[in-house]
Amino acid sequence: MDLATFLEIPPIKSVSSPSKFSYYKNLQTEANPLHFFVIGGTYYDKGYAVGFTLGEYLNVFIRNIYRFVSKVGLGVEGNKLNKEKLLPLAKVIYSNVRYERILELQGFLDGCKHGGHPVEDERDIAMMLAYVELNDAACCSTIGVNFPGTTHDTYQINNLEYPFRFIFLNNPFACTFFPQNEKGERVDLAYFGLTYAGVPTVLGGMNEKGVSFGTIRSSNLKDPNSMEGTSTFYYMNDALRLSKDANEFIEYIKNVKRTNAYFAVIADSANQKDSLNLCFLGHNIFKRYLANEMIDQTILNDLKYGKYFPQENAVYWVDMPVPGIEAGPDKAYHLLKEQWKNIDNQQALAIVKKLASKYTIMSCVYNTTQQEVFFSFPVKKILAQDRNYFNLSLKQIFGSYSDFKKGNFSLLESIKNIEIL
């Protein structure tokens, strides 16, 4: 069955830009790849570029998901699902996304096919997001902090955890995207995101205006899960490409119909009162807290994981109830206080490493003032936090759009591969 028939929509056309471009580089080794993309074009072009290059990895990810959900199950309760139970849920999710996302999925499929690794059942490409949306076992930490809590700059500090990280190994990728329309004109804002080949959106990122976000799947909000809404990953990604500051980002996610419960930190580099935001996001709940504001603890299930101390120039959250770790937001608070007013690139990296665990599948620090990112993914037998973090100047990449359009990728070719310790 093709994707359009599955989603019960008209046939999907390949909407491409005459000014599209794509650059790919493996920043690690063949055995432990880190896929790095810079893409300009429509969302179809973006999907096509990724599918053409990573079709083999996408197919492996699909097989791993079906094997996992049938044997281990989804979420903290381990609900076992087969393909026929998972696909209808994917259909519900994609009934609530913007059409650009459908075009991106079709691009994935066409790219996989033309790259020699076709997806046998096109419904599976939609199923990947349903898997991520349903699986509430992911937990992590996210922090936003600015001056004078830092030496000068604004930082977004994020970790993403997943107890079965083997599913994601060999799939990590970093992508900078310059959205264009079918006429080749720039639309929306360019943004950088970190994700995995099997997750067709970003798990955290920053745009060319220095707006950044980090999300945590909530195990603690008193809000029922629902598939009736837009996937968190999509609406956060859409807010990133549409928002010039944190306020615009907040307005977008406040008004969207949401699915499951998440904690999020949204930051911009303006260093204003509303530049740092902690949000509680649910199907029925929306709460926004600025720095130095106390949270509403009545909407939390377990106050053991809700110990929050208002702090000037910082917002933060940690949701890691996993046995052997069992950490809440107070862990981030104490790490911030230890380095208060001394937080720079090195101290921000020290904090993100201390918040990481054996389950970390992505670890990153965004310096939104300098438009710089430091990030790491795990490889076999080596944890993300035990490796050298890769460093990119996003300011240079965002500022090189004209060169990229001309096919000049010398800036990207000069980027050196990262060591695996």
- pLDDT greater than 90 at residue 297: yes
The three-point CA angle 211-221-330 to 5° equals 70
Give the containing element (helix H, strand E) for 192.
strand 191-196
Q: Residue 136: its pLDDT value, please?
A: 58
- pLDDT of amino acid 159: 95
Distance CA 227, CA 131 (A): 12
What per-residue confidence (pLDDT) applies to 71? 73
The confidence score (pLDDT) of residue 271 equals 94
CA gap 115, 55 in Å, rounded: 7
Q: Is the dihedral of CA 153, 358, 265, 290 positive or negative?
A: negative
3-state helix, strand, coil in the chain (%, to 5): 35, 25, 40
Q: What is the mean pLDDT of residues 262-276?
A: 96
Mean pLDDT, residues 399-408 taken together: 98
pLDDT of residue 137: 53
Strand-strand pairing, 360-367 and 390-393 = unpaired
Nearest Cα to Cα of residue 280 among 257, 307, 260: 260
How far is Cα 307 from Cα 317, in angstroms, rounded to an integer? 10
Residue 260's pLDDT band (cuts 50, 70, 90): confident
Give Cα 394 distance to the centre of its chain. 16
Query: What is the tens place of the pLDDT at every residue in 301-316?
Result: 999 999 999 999 999 9
- Identify the pLDDT of residue 76: 57
Helix H or strand E encompassing 48: helix 43-71
Q: Which of 42, 59, 40, 63 is nearest to 51 (CA)?
A: 59
pLDDT, position 75: 59
Structure tokens at 298: 């009545």
Instruction: Kindly report, residue by residue over 353-403, the tens digit of the pLDDT.
Output: 999 999 899 999 999 999 999 999 999 889 999 999 999 999 999 999 999
pLDDT recorded at residue 324: 80
Rounded distance between C-alpha atoms, residue 172 and residue 59, angstroms: 14
β-sheet with 172-179: strand ranges across: 21-26, 35-41, 172-179, 191-196, 204-207, 212-217, 262-267, 276-281, 286-290
What pLDDT sits at residue 373?
A: 98
Q: Which residue has the higher pLDDT, 259 or 148?
A: 148
Task: List the structure tokens of 360.
Answer: 């970390």
pLDDT at 195 over 60: yes
Question: What is the distance between the alpha carbons of residues 51 and 106, in angstroms, rounded to a whole number?
Answer: 10
Token couple for 321: 């109830």
Look at 415 and 87; give whichever has higher pLDDT. 415
Given a cut of 80, whether residue 419 has pLDDT beyond it is: no
The alpha carbon dihedral of 106, 108, 112, 118 has a sign of: negative
345: how many CB neighbours lie within 10 A of its CB? 18
The answer on pLDDT for 73 being more than 70 is: no
Q: What are phi and psi of 194, to 5 degrees?
A: -110, 130
Q: Which residue has the higher pLDDT, 134 or 421?
A: 134
Domains of the chain, start order = 15-403 (3.60.60.10)
Please give the average per-residue pLDDT across 256-275, as a whole number.
94
Q: Average pLDDT for residues 270-278, to the nearest whole number?
A: 96
What are the structure tokens assigned to 228, written together? 């009736």
Rounded to whole angstroms, the Cα distance separating 147 from 313 reads 7
Q: 30-44, 114-128, 132-146, 247-261: which has the minimum mean pLDDT?
A: 132-146
Does the pTM surpass 0.85? The reply is yes
- Of the candidates 359, 389, 361, 360, which has an alpha carbon nearest to the alpha carbon of residue 374? 389
**Residue 250 exposure: Cα atoms within 13 Å on the Cβ side:** 19
Write the single-letter amino acid at 294. M
Q: What value does the mean pLDDT take over residues 316-342? A: 93
The pLDDT tens digits of the residues spanning 141-193 come to: 999 999 999 999 999 999 998 877 777 777 899 999 999 999 999 999 999 99
Query: In this predicted model, what pLDDT tens digit does every residue of 119-131 receive, in sequence order?
Result: 999 999 988 877 7
